[in-house]
Amino acid sequence: MELPIKSKRLYIAEFDESMAESVHINSLDEDNRRFVPDEVFETVAEARETISRLISFYSKKDVPLVYAVMLNDGRQIGHIQAVPIPTGWEIGYHIAKPFRGNGYATEAVEAFLSKILLYLDITQLYGICHAENVASRKVLEKCGFTLIYEGLGQYHGKEEEICKYINQQPECR
């Protein structure tokens, strides 16, 4: 995939190990702990180890593809990802708490969506979130995802109330 992906205020780039401290700090807020506990890194070393693994995935297309979301000034403020699931691919994203409420998640998803669909040669992408994660639901809806299921489902290894969305793009190859 051609990187960086640029938008008005952000760019999306591959992670590098120098981002370990910001990834660690950005992962520690209470919403991240509640909604995506597998993306909490208690130490910089843990974040660095995960980044190293994610970097090794960039040459493959059947593994999670996770990229840094950066402000144009170079600060890493979150991540965006495409993850294989049994029914296709799922989008995920996180913006660190100090940067939320500014539309960065929506801007990142809008910039990423067409590029990742083209790169993976797919026409649809799912968005799955905890039903109480109102912010993620709003981002998905603003970015053209349609709610297709609301109810109990597996979420991080537990039965939870979830919302499942889909974004379908016409084939244009």
In the chain, where are the structural domains located? Answer: 5-122
| Tokens coding 145 | 């995802």
Q: What is the rounded distance in angstroms from the CA atom of residue 34 to the CA atom of residue 25? A: 16
What does each C-alpha distance from 62 to 26, 88, 89, 152 come to in angstroms? 26, 10, 10, 27
Kindly report whether the global pTM for this prediction surpasses the value 0.75.
yes
Q: What is the pLDDT of residues 94-128, one digit of tens each?
A: 999 999 999 999 999 999 999 999 999 999 999 99
Contact at 8 Å (CB) between 72 and 10? yes
CATH label, 5-122, candidates 1.20.1090.10, 3.30.450.20, 3.40.640.10, 3.40.630.30: 3.40.630.30
Q: What is the pLDDT of residues 7-38, one digit of tens each?
A: 999 999 999 999 999 999 999 989 888 888 88
For the chain, the C-alpha Rg in angstroms (whole number) is 15
Enumerate the β-bridge partners of residue 10: 71
> Does 131 score more than 50 pLDDT?
yes
Region for residue 79 given its phi and psi (left: phi exceeds 0; alpha: psi -120 to 50; beta: otherwise): beta
pLDDT level of residue 149 (50, 70, 90 thresholds): very high
Q: What is the pLDDT of residues 29-64, one digit of tens each?
A: 898 888 888 899 999 999 999 999 999 999 998 999
Tracing tokens 């890493």 back to the chain, one arrives at 76
CA 13 to chain centre: 13
Mean pLDDT value across residues 167-173: 69
pLDDT given for residue 171 in this prediction: 58
